[in-house]
Copies of this chain bind each other. A is one copy, B any other.
Amino acid sequence: MNRQVVLVSRPHGIPQAEHFAIRSAPLPTLQPGQALVRNRYLSVDPAMRGWVNAAANYADPVAIGAVMRAFAAGEVIASRNDALPQGTRVMGMLGWQDYAVTDGSDLRRIVREDDLPLSLSLGVLGINGLTAYFALRTLGQPAAGDTVVVSTAAGAVGSIVGQLAKQAGCRVVGIAGGAEKCRLCISEFGYDAALDYHADDLGAALDAACPDGIDVYFDNTAGRISDAVLPRIRRHARIIVCGTASVASWDPWPQGPRVERHLLNKAARMAGFLVWDYEDRYDEAIAALAPLVRSGALRYREEIQQGLQCAPGAIADLYAGRNLGKRLIQLEDPS
């Protein structure tokens, strides 16, 4: 039997545990071309909020009654697909479930870093690392001496962005929620400065930390953090919109200070990033990131919960900001 986390009602805003249920379904018989993957790690990502909302997203929402869409990593335990022999380690859109049947189309990577933990294929060597790598390089284009500001700076994506920007010779300023995350930014991830967005005056803190203004803003939050950053951008600044974590709901659509005049006065640009656009280049990023992980030059944190039963409440937990690392769910061995 295959335990699956299914969506049972559509949330307005951030999905809570009660929007999901766990059911058991029989494993189907493999058809030619299919492989059976035993999921070992389930990913919990901020983007999953959007995947269950009815509107304001880049993909069709998960249907009521369907297995929750999610990244997962596992290994092939049975196969009728020559490209996916038994024992292959894979990462892909395999869902919040114990087992997934795949014809390969929902896989994102064959995980070949056999010397590294499989869990990394969902974080620093997964969508988080790929997002940080491509978004910063292609949209951020940091140059040595630039000032780079990162929101959710201690998070699974932000922490990688900060380190890659630092390696590019930038001054790197993180924005995070709370003193503990700010400490992590400095001690673990090498930020030059870290600002607590709970602080009274984020604008004044940005002025002090970025006296010459901001060249690159890697934005995972939108909302009032972005509103404090935008007036401080420099000529030809690049703003990367990677997430909107601070906006609880887009229905009704929220208002904020208009951005047009900032962009015009500074001949700056603001661009949304979707990692799917770079699928044919994932190997390039992994080839760059894996050596940094092995050498310790790229640090990461994981927070691994045990058992499928943790999944339903995991997205709400993520948005509560309580995690201090990439949130994963490890699946126990099947009974």
Contacts and interface: CB of A to CB of B under 8 A. Distances in A.
B272 A268 contact: yes
Interface in A239-286: 241-244, 247, 250, 253-274, 277
B267 A274 contact: yes
A31 interface: no
A56 B271 contact: no
A226 interface: yes
A57 interface: yes
A98 interface: no
Interface string A34-71: 00000000000000000000001110000000000000
Given A241-B260, A258-B255, A273 B265 contact: no
Given A253-B257, A255-B255, A264 B277 contact: no
A222 interface: yes
Given A255-B255, A270-B269, A272-B269, A261 B277 contact: no
B253 A255 contact: no
Contacts of A139: 269
B255 A58 contact: no
A215 interface: no
A219 interface: yes
Given A241-B263, A254-B258, A256-B255, A271 B268 contact: yes
B259 A259 contact: yes
Contacts of A247: 258, 260-261
Contact of A242 (B226, B264, B268, B269): B264
A261 B56 contact: yes
B266 A269 contact: no
A7 B253 CA distance: 42
A56 B222 CA distance: 21
Contacts of A255: 255-258
Contact of A260 (B58, B222, B261, B263): B222
A266 B59 CA distance: 10
Contacts of A226: 260
Contacts of A261: 56, 222, 244, 247, 250, 253
B258 A58 contact: no
Nearest to A258: B256
A257 B244 CA distance: 14
A66 B21 CA distance: 71
Nearest to A221: B260
Nearest to A235: B58
Contact of A256 (B58, B256, B271): B256
11 contacts: A222-B258, A241-B264, A247-B261, A255-B255, A255-B256, A259-B259, A260-B272, A263-B271, A264-B274, A265-B272, A268-B271
Given A219-B260, A222-B260, A247-B258, 14 more contacts: A58-B264, A58-B265, A58-B266, A226-B260, A236-B277, A244-B261, A250-B261, A253-B258, A255-B257, A264-B273, A264-B274, A267-B273, A269-B270, A269-B272
Interface of A: 56-58, 139, 219, 222, 226, 236, 241-244, 247, 250, 253-274, 277
